[in-house]
Amino acid sequence: MKLKIRIGILAVVLAFSNVLVVQAQETEDNSLLKTESGLQVKTILEGTGEYPQDGDKVIVHYTGKLLNGTVFDSSVKRGTPFDFELGAGRVIKGWDEGFKHIKKGGKATLIIPPSIGYGSKDMGSIPPNSVLIFDVELLDIKKGLRIEPFKTDGLDTVALPSGLKYIAVKKGKGKRAEKGSNVTINYSLYIDGKLVDSSIKKGEPLKFPLGKGMLIPGLDEGVSAMREGDKYRMIIPPELGFGKKASGIPADAILTMDIELLEVKEEIKPKEYKVKGKRTYSTESGLQYIIVEEGKGVTPKVGQEVSVHYTGYLEDKTVFDSSVSRDQVFKFPLGQGRVIKGWDEGVALMKVGDKIRFIIPANLAYGDKEMGNIPANSTLIFDVELIDVK
């Protein structure tokens, strides 16, 4: 549904936003806060707890509506609260900003302009350039871990010909990382001095096969200079990082990563599913799938956390990513838009124990975006096993 929003509707959106502000000024409504970003927070019930801070995990209920009252998503309807790390960029900017103004136990309405919502993106039931209205309740706050950056004062910075720089903070004595080996690291990622991601906060180290192009080039190159027990700070230039391509990260950002190499293991090679002679099914969206092996477990519901193993291939059979190679299952909440549309649709068809090959057209994957080693407009092939549902 890639339709441009009509000028008349946009005018209504702007008028509605302006009316809210005017009403707040005329009535001196202290329950309505308007921030510089254009966010408006209408307090419905003052909470009795404290305000959350960046890094805290917040547990919330919400109902999202368009200006015409259409409900496009609701955790209340599903009966399952939603949680996320505040300030980590894992939700729209209006949420990261808005929940900082709500106390634990509080209820509020967030009025979020497109600039801090989904902007001009077509999000299915949410048209481009939509003002979003969320009725939210902050159920609980779980204090996040406070990550301390590595101390590098007085240590030498080594510059490599590629442009990568690193600082050896602590030297280990274990096995050296080599191309193809399966490495396990803890990392904290900073941009302009701000922590934006951390495996420590997630409570799970990152595993990946070294030198296979499954992560950014700077990480592959940097970790290949390490051995078990090493702690390095890496300064990764844009051309070895995300460049202009990463969602939620500024274009051409210089990445600072504090990395500890925990373990080096032998390479794990995923086995391609055997699909010869098996029937290919198609859905209305264009998703295709082949049932390789049937399980006997439950089928997941929207909002439940699913655990899967997968290997992703391009049409020429090039492997671009694999949880099998990392020896690490992948977990995500089903139907929440945390993965590509083809995954949300496809995994919803599975039972625990199923092994299915999905053929996902570009419009249900990354579309015309180039995503690292995935070219623009790529049809993607995934061999997926559903391990568990919670």
Decide if 226 contacts 259 (C-beta within 8 A). yes
Among the listed residues 82, 99, 118, 289, the single catalytic one is: 118
Q: Which of 51, 72, 84, 330 is catalytic?
A: 72
Among residues 92, 111, 249, 359, the one annotated as catalytic is 92
- Select which of 134, 166, 358, 382 is catalytic: 134
Q: Which of 51, 62, 150, 330 is catalytic?
A: 62
Rounded CA separation 124/130 (Å): 12
Catalytic residue status for 62 = yes
Say how far residue 18 (Cα) sits from the centre of its chain.
33
**Annotation marks residue 59 as catalytic:** no
72 in active site: yes
Would you call 281 a catalytic residue per the annotation?
A: no
Nearest-angstrom CA–CA distance, 134 and 140: 18
Instruction: Print burial letters for 367-390: b (CB count within 10 Å at least 16), e (below 16).
Output: eeeebbbbeeebbbbbbbbbbebe
Separation in Å, CA 95 to CA 24, 99, 100, 189, 319: 21, 6, 9, 21, 35
**Exposed (0-12), middle (13-18) or buried (19+): which is 280, by Cβ within 10 Å?**
exposed
Task: Identify whether 166 is a catalytic site residue.
Answer: no
The answer to whether residue 235 is catalytic is: no
Identity of residue 337: G
- What tokens were used for 211? 């030198």
Catalytic residue (choose from 73, 135, 230, 321): 73
Q: Name the β-bridge partners of 33.
A: 41
Q: What is the dihedral of CA 296, 302, 304, 306, to 10 degrees?
A: 60
What residues are labeled active site? 62, 72-73, 92, 118, 134
